[in-house]
Amino acid sequence: MTATTVPTSSPVVPRPARRAKRRSAALGLLAWAAGLAFCLPALWMLLTSLHAESDAATNPPSVFAPLTLDGYRAFFGADTGVTPWPPLLNSLGASFFSTLLVLLLALPAAYALSIRRVRKWTDVLFFFLSTKMLPVVAGLLPVYLFAKNAGMLDNIWLLVLLYTSMNLPIAVWMLQSFLADVPVSVIEAAQVDGARLPTVLARVIAPMAAPGIAATALICFIFSWNELLFARVLTGVVAQTAPVFLTGFVTSQGLFLAQLCAASVVVSLPVLAAGYAAQDKLVQGLSLGAVK
Amino acid sequence: MTTAAGTSAPVSAPRTPAPTPGKGRRRAWATRAPLLPALVFLIVVTQLPFVATLVISLFDWNSLNPDKRAFNGLGNYASVFTDAALRDSVVTTVLLTAGVVIATVVLGLALALLLDRTFFGRGMVRTLLITPFLLVPVSAALLWKHALYNPEYGLFNGALSWIGDLFGDTSPGQPDWIADMPLLAVIAALVWQWTPFMMLILLAGLQSRPAEVVEAARLDGASAWQTFRHLTLPHLRRYLELGVLLGAVHIVQNFDAVFTLTAGGLGTANLPYTIYQTFYQAHEYGLASAAGVVVVIGTIIIATFALRVVSSLFSEEANRA
């Protein structure tokens, strides 16, 4: 910023300009250093996952040890025959179906809150938000008791319902703010041309809000995939999710560091991909649409 | 919330035509209908269990002793506040939340200020910075516990011996991080994970700062510090509040890091972990529920502020539209 402002104030001040430039370069380097420092543990995890077990747990660390995929092979059950596929698929299923259900419930609600506004729409919005602030532990026991009596323990569909309730408020907020960005004039123009509501929704609103809807879906997917407490309490063997599998992994296999890092990388991979893809909308989602 | 309701009338006016009195009621329901599935779903899945928790909290109920279930009034609440372990976990929760939130705000602000400038590879640095936030929390906690904190071969002690080697010290200190400083170890791991979140929110705040005003201040001869102190900081206030409160609501509820790093040992059991243990391992349903209600009350206090902040940001946005 400094570099661009100097010429406007006066064209002949070379020395402060040069100093500003040098300062700017130094701050850029500092930003790079900070970025690398923050990413270092994650990069270390990746590197360790690619080392042989004998090179992984050494002191001082063996950074330049030969790379191998043995950790990944071991994680996928090459030695023990215990594969992580069922938990990974459970996580995928629970996250996918709850995201789908969230969108089905949240899209109409967001429509009513942004385009065809119900009265007192802000109050309704804040009610949605307030449910998100209710700590999960406060409702966990009744849910557990209900599931136990209804024979729904260790059932992936119970997780789908709970993850839906967990993400619905966020989705309503996000979608509300994305739909509100669709210009009213475009909607009205379509209506003047004789388009009816379903057509307007499908042909005008959905395409214009598509990036926002996609970002909402990704964020809901990430939160469901990450969830541990519900999954830990309410699932056992059959419906075990990837995070629960990870926590049990260390105790059941003993500690193999390379394998553990490989497991962490594999489990985090979908979230990393989704998160990088939704980077720009991530802030808006995480701040519940309050920040653009 | 009331302020939000106050702003709703003028804002919604241009969007919806005023309801005509005759067929108004049917129209109102037609408008409301799309909202109902989501509302009903949320009430059933989140509010009903909480009501059940409230009821259970009034009973003396240990599931290992189902016959002795009896009405206990506020007895469980008295236990929550007198039970040393539970009281300790209240203190732990406060320390953990405050420590993480303060550290992430300071670090996040510094990083946001660094990133709010143009420099080579800015997008790449941003991507590097948000990576901790995108790791699955359990993976991150396992990474810290085993690959970084491990006293024998963790990266931290590895780096210490490597640096020691460099300076000819053959036996540098090798702390057992988690055992020596358990709460700090949990806080550090959480700070690492949550700083990107604060940075993202504060960066959004910085980038929404009107450029002309900053420019004008610069032309008037304001120093960088003066601009920051008198323009940037007041503008960021709302974003800081929002970050603090949303962060606090999340950290108060943290379970993954405590569960994975220390399993609640060494004085790191926060309320969510303690409640989990009280009902899942000790089967004290009544007591766990009472503690849950206490957490809710605490969260409501934070959330009320959070809602007010979001509401003020939000009505600003609505007024602009």
Burial A175-211, CB ≥16 within 10 A → b, else e: bbbbbbebeeeebeebeeeebeeeebbeebbeebbee
CB contact B86 to A (< 8 Å) = no
The nearest CA of chain A is from the CA of B101 a distance in Å of 15
Burial class (CB in 10 A: 0-12, 13-18, 19+), B142: buried
CB contact B217 to A (< 8 Å) = no
CB contact B314 to A (< 8 Å) = yes
Adjacent-strand bridge partners of B59:
B71
How far apart CA B247 and CA B93 sit, in angstroms, is 13
Structure tokens belonging to residue A223: 């939160």
Q: Are A213 and A114 in contact (CB under 8 A)?
A: no
pLDDT value, residue B9? 38
Sign of CA dihedral A68, A70, A75, A77: positive
How far apart CA A64 and CA A48 sit, in angstroms, is 10
What confidence tier does A3 reach under pLDDT thresholds 50, 70, 90? very low
Chain B hits for A28, CB-CB cut-off 8 Å, are 117, 119-120
* Contact check, Cβ <8 Å, A142/B159: no
pLDDT value, residue A253? 61
How far apart CA B313 and CA B321 sit, in angstroms, is 13
Structure tokens belonging to residue A79: 């030695």
Give the three-state DSSP class for A222: helix
pLDDT value, residue A162? 93
Cβ–Cβ pairs < 8 A, chains A and B: 344
Nearest to A59 among B144, B158, B246 (CB): B158
Shortest CA distance from B244: residue in chain A: A287
Q: Are B283 and B200 in contact (CB under 8 A)?
A: no
CB contact B200 to A (< 8 Å) = yes
The nearest CA of chain B is from the CA of A177 a distance in Å of 10
The residues, any chain, with a CB within 8 Å of residue B122's CB and separated by 6 or more, are A31, B115
Q: Are A179 and A111 in contact (CB under 8 A)?
A: yes
* Contact check, Cβ <8 Å, A137/B272: yes
Shortest CA distance from A10: residue in chain B: B219
Report the pLDDT averaged over residues A125-135.
82
Higher pLDDT, B281 or A163: A163
Helix axes B48-56, B285-320, angle to 10 degrees: 150
Chain A hits for B12, CB-CB cut-off 8 Å, are 117, 119, 121
**Type of residue at A177:** S
Contacts 24+ apart (CB under 8 A), B49-52: B49/A138, B49/A139, B49/A140, B49/A142, B49/A143, B49/A146, B50/A134, B50/A138, B50/A139, B50/A142, B50/B296, B52/A139, B52/A141, B52/A142, B52/A145
Adjacent-strand bridge partners of B62:
B284
pLDDT value, residue A165? 93
Pairing of β B70-71 and β B59-60: antiparallel
* Contact check, Cβ <8 Å, B157/A59: yes
**Type of residue at B289:** S
B264 — alpha (psi -120 to 50), left (phi > 0) or beta? Answer: left
pLDDT value, residue A12? 56
User: Could you report the per-residue pLDDT of A246-288, keeping only the tens digit for each?
Assistant: 988 776 666 788 999 999 999 999 999 988 888 878 777 777 7
Helices (H), chain B: 2-12, 24-32, 36-42, 48-56, 75-82, 84-115, 122-134, 137-142, 155-166, 177-180, 182-207, 211-219, 224-227, 233-252, 256-261, 271-280, 285-320
What confidence tier does A224 reach under pLDDT thresholds 50, 70, 90? very high
Report the pLDDT averaged over residues A144-172.
91
CB contact B201 to A (< 8 Å) = yes
Q: Are B151 and B174 in contact (CB under 8 A)?
A: yes
What is the interface pTM, i.e. ipTM, of the complex? 0.85
How far apart CA B232 and CA B220 sit, in angstroms, is 16
CA dihedral A240, B250, B112, B137 (to 10 degrees): -20
The nearest CA of chain B is from the CA of A212 a distance in Å of 17
The nearest CA of chain B is from the CA of A184 a distance in Å of 8
* Contact check, Cβ <8 Å, B300/A38: no
Q: Is the pLDDT assigned to residue A136 strictly greater than 90?
A: no
Q: In chain A, pLDDT over 70 holds for what percent of residues?
A: 91
Rounded alpha-carbon distances, angstroms, from residue A31 to A24, A40, A87, B117: 11, 14, 38, 10
Query: Per mean pLDDT, which of A63-67, A240-244, B238-242 is the most reliable?
Result: A240-244
The model's pTM? 0.85
Rounded alpha-carbon distances, angstroms, from residue A256 to A33, A52, A235: 31, 10, 25
Q: Are B109 and B198 in contact (CB under 8 A)?
A: yes
Q: What is the DSSP string of B84-120?
A: HHHHHHHHHHHHHHHHHHHHHHHHHHHHHHHHTS--T
pLDDT in tens, chain B (321 residues): 333 333 333 444 445 444 455 567 777 777 788 889 999 999 998 888 889 898 888 888 887 777 777 787 788 888 888 888 888 888 899 999 999 999 999 999 999 999 998 888 889 999 999 999 999 999 999 999 988 998 888 888 888 888 888 887 777 778 888 888 999 999 999 999 999 999 999 998 898 888 888 888 888 888 888 888 888 888 888 889 888 888 888 898 899 999 999 888 888 898 889 989 888 888 888 888 998 888 888 888 877 877 787 777 777 766 655
